Structure 1
Amino acid sequence: MPSSYEYGTFANYSPRGSSELSVTSRKACGAIKAGRVNVIASAVPHLQDSKADALRPFLGPDVTLVPVPRSAPLPDGALWPAKVICDVLHEHGFGQDVQTYLKRTRAIPRSSNSPAAERPLVPIHLESIEAERPFFVPNKITIVDDVLTMGRTSFACAELLRAVCPHAEIRIFAMIRTQGLQDDIQKIVDPATGTVIGYPSGKTHRDP
């Protein structure tokens, strides 16, 4: 049976849509990937609104936030967008703490720069990320990423943390998700949940 993890996202964007809103969504995605604190913090009032209630289990006061590593080992002082997101969310009352349990041990091709057919499969992530076993294992963990497309990186991170924290509830959260490549979007702020399913082939499916 394939493994699966719940995911939650705050917004969505269109990689190639031609409408004005789709173009704006790409700018928002770029700002999130660049770790721009003001853009990330602008999500807070929306996340506090009742329209985002479905995301409460992902960002609740009893959840440990764990940032997804970048595609290469992180030099001192380098930008780590997922960590910036975790820190901003925690500063505004989301999650009980931020822990860097995951680190990239060797560089792999960046998914955003690779054609869809050549994006790294889950085993590549499993082999290039190391998970630290916490001294005190949290009951609930949310893996935090900047952008969720197919979810391979986040899925691999969830699998690695499940191996060292087998009794923890593990979920995935991303600030923004990719909508169908050619589709225009109807709105950018659009809290949503779903499931990332992993298969023996190393591929994943994001539903919806």
Structure 2
Amino acid sequence: MTTVTVLDQFARDIASVIPQIDTTAEHRRWQPGIGAFDEKVQIERILEHLEQQSTHYADTRTEVRYPNSDQRCDIILDRDGVQIPIEAKLLRFYRDNGDLEPAAYSTVYSLFSNSLVADAQKLAASEFETSRGLLGLYYEPADEVPSSMDAPKLAEKVTRDVDYWYDLTLTTQTIAEFTDLRHPVHQQGAVITWELTE
């Protein structure tokens, strides 16, 4: 398998399990549904479901130390001999009550924080001797979403920003959509994977 096929299948498999997880996701503080949970909990639940459904994800690891620093990589995907370090981000621009979340933009685009764009640079500077990837878990309401915030435009802007700021080649591999979630705001979305090449 190649990095491209592994990242593509990973996105599609995640998109298939998110609605399953959503049916039983209950939060103590927020409204029901997986979209209300934080990034770490979502990744844990998603990987747990994937491991239960397929032996392809049995060797997946999380919070793995970078070879050249004390930083931790969110996911090391190991599939048929292909190992891919992946940094993941929750791409959620709305709060539980439907208000816009201003801090979400820095989570994606900031150069000065632990953002998706900055994660591309972090991966490029790492000493992982493999291809690298980014993963975005994007949520939106079923209606009233500004067209500038949809998954394809977000994916494209991330690739342009990574190229502009860091002169790195980031390619969107897959945008796998999911729908019919229970949360009244985080009702649908997409799993986005990118491949980072030198």
Please indicate, yes or no, whether the TM-score normalized by the shorter chain is above 0.5. Answer: no
Q: Which structure is higher in helix share?
A: 2
